Amino acid sequence: MKIGLISDLHIDINEAYPVMDLLAAKCRQESLDLLVIAGDVSETPARTIEAVHGLQENLQKDTGCRVCYVPGNHDMWNKNCPDRKTEEIAEAFEEDPLCLSGKKALQEGGCFLVGDIGWYDYSFASASYSKDQLDSMRTGGRTWQDKFFNSWTGDNEAAMKASLARMRESLEAAKEKISAEETLIAVTHMLPIRDFCVPEDQKDWGFFNAFLGGEAIGDLLREYPVKIAVCGHVHYRSCVEKDGIRWICPCLGYHSEWPLYGLADDEADTHIADALQIMNI
């Protein structure tokens, strides 16, 4: 089974580029059986769902490639739909059959997939900041944008606990069914390990790392026979192997960030090919 992993497509910020069409073409070129998107498709919940379903329909025309995803923090925003409550948005994603959130476990070929957005608990922040400072989500004149568009930020600790509970339920369901020969893949948008955080010598990131994820996500995944853990959010592309798990962060990111990678060019198809991680299972 051939699986592609990618995250942070940001089709609105990358509006000038046909990201979804190029991604579909790459899936065909690689003869993928499954594409997993680890969140941040767009900044509008309905647009995200429509775009993922459009990608699935595009691929179904001439390939059996299946698409699944978890929402990211941008997908969860009510920025462009201010009358919608965060819980309404979360429910819409949980009701979407292509979304892993709120599902027991998805079996596909020799794999089981579980997923959720995840959240943050400040465990990646520098110890120099107090909880009150981190609760403000503001430093150096900058505010983490979730504060404006997601009500979960009123109690980030509770949001993290809720996400962990949802994931544990899915992991338990997978554990009951999975065999030793099958692969358990966990998908979150938020970071499950500190290794993917932004170096603290970059201005204010000792503070803003607080909102990238949390140690508790990785701790939970280590309790189960997870072999591959996919995340996004941070807009770095990286892979780490430790604790018997391959941790993968395959972010496409914003077009304005692409020159930082120093690839042959800064075209969308080049960066989709670089971000997309392909595994044979």
DSSP-assigned letters across all residues of the chain: -EEEEEB---TTTTTTS-HHHHHHHHHHHTT-SEEEE-S-S-SSHHHHHHHHHHHHHHHHTT---EEEE---TTTT--TT-TTS-HHHHHHHHHH-TTB-TT-S-EEETTEEEEEE-----STTS-TTS-HHHHHHTEETTEE-THHHH-GGGGGHHHHHHHHHHHHHHHHHHHHHH--TTSEEEEEESSBSSGGGSPPTTSTTHHHHGGGSB-HHHHHHHHTTTEEEEE--SS--EEEEEETTEEEEEEB---GGGGGGG--S---HHHHHHHH-EEEE-
The pLDDT value recorded for residue 108 is 87
For residue 109, pLDDT over 90 is answered with: no
* For range 3-28, the mean pLDDT: 98
What would the two tokens of residue 76 be? 């969860």
- Domain residues for the domain of 31 are 2-280
The pLDDT value recorded for residue 249 is 98
What would the two tokens of residue 86 be? 């965060």
Closest CA to 159 of 47, 263, 31, 73: 73
Closest CA to 197 of 125, 248, 117: 125
What would the two tokens of residue 24 be? 């579909």
* For range 14-26, the mean pLDDT: 98
> Mean pLDDT in the chain?
97
What are the residues facing 239 on neighbouring strands? 248
Tell me the per-residue pLDDT of 31-58, one tens digit each, with 9 for 90 and over: 999 999 999 999 999 999 999 999 999 9
Quote the number of domains for the chain.
1
Residue with tokens 């992991």: 171
Nearest-10 Cα torsion for 203, 153, 45, 270: 20
For residue 85, pLDDT over 90 is answered with: yes
Tell me the per-residue pLDDT of 1-15, one tens digit each, with 9 for 90 and over: 999 999 999 999 999
CATH assignment at residue 65: 3.60.21
The pLDDT value recorded for residue 61 is 85
